[in-house]
A and B are shown apart, each in its own frame.
Chain A
Amino acid sequence: MPIYETVFVLDTQLEDSARDKRIQGVLDFLSRHAERVIKTDRWGNRHLAYEIKKRQQGHYVSVQYETSPAVVPELERIFRLDDAVLRYLTMRSEEKIKEEEQITAKEEINRAVQEGKESEEGQEGA
């Protein structure tokens, strides 16, 4: 399944508890519908490059997760309905997949090498 990365920006005028509730809501949604959540990264409050809804600052959160593509529009629907979400962006992250592929490829090579050694040893023993 593809891996996605979503960054969303929350209103900083929100109470801390309300903000945490929203972040938790997103994570809950993902844990219910996504295959797995790989990483969540709270960048915290950042200065916005330009004003959005009269706000100078935004609370940035990024989530990386693996899911079927059908879940993404559902998640974005949640963002769209919530006025406290100033911005959101979902991208497919190719990088992570490549890394994983590399790891599995490496493992396969290692396994092949080891199997080769073992068979050699077996021949020597016989």
Chain B
Amino acid sequence: MLSKKARKARKAKKELDAKGKLDRKMTKVCRFCEHKELRIDYKDERTLKRYMNERGKIIPRRMSGACARHQRAITSAIKRARHLAILPYAAEAFR
């Protein structure tokens, strides 16, 4: 099921595509808006890792493609996971 917003974005994308003006980065739709059943959970290490770079930093919204609400949820989930040592605060220096 797509949300209204996601559907609208999809439509806009299609129109751009038809005109041959599609820029993927420009019309990226938030993954969590697109798939309503997806939940952001601080225990879900694998999903959250996708929103971190190799150094353990949280990837900014302009690169992650998440909408404001979901980016906020991702950020707080990562911070919770960090507290529980599920995710690192910073990537370990090589030993």
A→B interface (CB under 8 Å): 7, 9, 46, 48-50, 52, 58, 60, 62, 86-87, 89, 91, 95
B83–A49 CB distance below 8 A? no
Instruction: List the 3 closest pairs (A to B, CB-CB), nearest first.
Output: A49-B88, A48-B85, A49-B85
| Contact residues in A for B89 (Cβ distance below 8 Å) | 49-50
B86–A49 CB distance below 8 A? yes
CA distance A52 to B89 in the complex (A): 13
B→A interface (CB under 8 Å): 39, 42-43, 80, 82-89, 92
| Contact residues in A for B82 (Cβ distance below 8 Å) | 49
In terms of DSSP, what is the predominant structure of the interface of chain A? strand
10 contacts between A and B (CB under 8 A): A7-B84, A48-B85, A49-B87, A50-B85, A50-B88, A50-B89, A50-B92, A52-B85, A89-B84, A95-B39
In terms of DSSP, what is the predominant structure of the interface of chain B? loop
A3 CB, nearest partner CB in chain B, Å: 15
11 other A-B residue contacts (CB within 8 Å) besides A9-B84, A89-B42: A9-B85, A46-B86, A49-B85, A49-B87, A49-B88, A49-B89, A50-B92, A58-B85, A86-B85, A87-B85, A91-B42
CA distance A2 to B92 in the complex (A): 38
Give the residue name and chain of the B residue nearest to A86 (CB). Answer: B85
Give the residue name and chain of the A residue nearest to B86 (CB). Answer: A49
Q: Which of A7, A50, A86 has a CB less than 8 Å from the CB of B43?
A: A7
CA distance A50 to B92 in the complex (A): 8
CA distance A60 to B84 in the complex (A): 9
CA distance A52 to B85 in the complex (A): 8
B53 CB, nearest partner CB in chain A, Å: 15
| Contact residues in B for A95 (Cβ distance below 8 Å) | 39
| Contact residues in B for A89 (Cβ distance below 8 Å) | 42, 80, 83-84
| Contact residues in B for A49 (Cβ distance below 8 Å) | 82, 85-89
CA distance A125 to B85 in the complex (A): 67
CA distance A62 to B85 in the complex (A): 14
CA distance A9 to B80 in the complex (A): 13
Give the residue name and chain of the A residue nearest to B82 (CB). Answer: A49
